[in-house]
Amino acid sequence: MFKINTKYIVVSLPILIILIATALYINSSILNRDEIAPVNEGEAETVTNSYVGVVDYVNPNHYPDDKITHVLNDVNGNEIILLVADDDKLDVVEGLSVELFGKKLKTKDGKIDILKVERIVIKNK
């Protein structure tokens, strides 16, 4: 029926073995290198801060370099932290009791804390 040509098997078998051995060597040398995707422990996790209070409007002229338009106050009206967001989420919750989550930053002069708000949870008073 079929005639197997041993000449091709004899030639292709060593080539196949060389290719497999080369692939295994390359794979193991890449996986053992420390230079590949080093991860610094401090950079791996992002710290998220949370604050509870009432979001109020603040005149943007008070902090013109930082474009601050909102502040988080406690129930007595005392300022907790200045707020900034990439969108209009602070406008939507103005006057409401909320829990804010985000990254804590400083004003450009480095004197006052700012919360860059990423997520908001509306609270019952």
pLDDT at 30: 57
Overall average pLDDT of the 72-99 stretch? 94
Residue 72: closest CA among 91, 49, 48, 98: 98
pLDDT at 14: 74
Q: What is the pLDDT of residues 4-28, one digit of tens each?
A: 666 555 667 677 788 888 877 776 6
Question: How far is Cα 1 from Cα 54, in angstroms, rounded to an integer?
Answer: 87
Question: How far is Cα 40 from Cα 34, in angstroms, rounded to an integer?
Answer: 12
Residues 6+ apart with CB under 8 A from 86: 116
pLDDT at 15: 78
Poorest-pLDDT segment among 45-49, 69-73, 83-87: 45-49
C-alpha dihedral, 20 to 25 to 26 to 32, nearest 10°: 140
pTM over 0.75: no
In this prediction, residue 43 has a pLDDT band, given cuts at 50, 70 and 90, of very low
Domains of the chain: 47-122 (2.40.50.140)
Q: What is the pLDDT of residues 50-80, one digit of tens each?
A: 999 999 999 988 888 888 999 999 989 999 9
